[in-house]
Homo-oligomer: A and B are copies of this chain.
Amino acid sequence: MARLKDIVEYCDQRTHREEIADFPGAHNGLQFENHGDVTKIGAAVDAGLVPFTLAAERGIDFLIVHHGMFWNPPTAFTGVHRKKLLTLFANNLAVYGSHLPLDCHPQIGNNAILARKLGLNVDGGFVRYEKHDIAVTAPAIEDRAHLRERLKGLFPETLICIEAGPQNTKRIGILTGSGRSAIPELRERGIDTFITGELKQEHFNIAQELEINLYLGGHYATETFGVCALAEDVADKFNLQWEFIDTGCPL
């Protein structure tokens, strides 16, 4: 057993919470406080009723989420909002949210981990938000067909390939989750191949015109890495168990 206060402090420091500005609505940090003790760590992508219920069933009392509770702040504690809070209170389940800090962290960030899993060596960043880059670049290490195979292995259910760029790729950009904000910078960065989670339909045409390869692994699927890595770190540090709460989101 560990104290909530210590775990929150550790998470804040590990993710550099205070130094990293985030989008309005993120409100990183402790989002729901429990009684004060923690016995088991959980990781989930979304702060939803289903993840909360599953976490409670598995005895988790500290749940790390990537998408927190306040993107659409409640304006009445009724219906689903009430159920979510009641689930948290009833199961003494604390919720900790960490968004951009878990995207851009050089060790436990979504981008960094995805690059490692693809065997790539990150050599720079792009898509600056306030003072931090939230996407990474890496030199290509093999041709497009091999890269596609690796991605297919990581995201077997969700991978979408739009191969409008060169077969012999030179430079790769990675931005997990939504890749929208990276699109305007790709050409000027010399990126010919962009790996992300999710894009909108309009980007298909843009990819054709920019002659860029796009690989979409799924917003959810590309953002499970960071919460798991932080959960594992916390669990190690405080000698607790941890578990990933998978909702199988296909988007």
Copies in the complex: 6
Partner of A204, one of B76, B77, B200, B250: B250
**Which A54-93 residues have a C-beta within 8 angstroms of B?**
67, 69-71, 73-80, 82, 85-86, 88-89
Inter-subunit contact A201/B198 (CB<8 Å): yes
Q: Which residues of B contact A89 (CB under 8 A)?
A: 85-86, 89
Q: Which residues of B contact A46 (CB under 8 A)?
A: 202, 204-205
Q: Which residues of B contact A82 (CB under 8 A)?
A: 32-33
Q: Mark A20-39, 1 if CB is under 8 A from B, else 0.
A: 00000001011111000000
In the complex, besides A80-B210, A85-B89, 17 extra interface pairs with C-beta distance below 8 angstroms are A27-B75, A30-B78, A33-B77, A33-B82, A46-B202, A46-B204, A47-B205, A48-B209, A50-B208, A69-B77, A70-B76, A73-B75, A77-B88, A89-B89, A178-B200, A203-B251, A204-B220
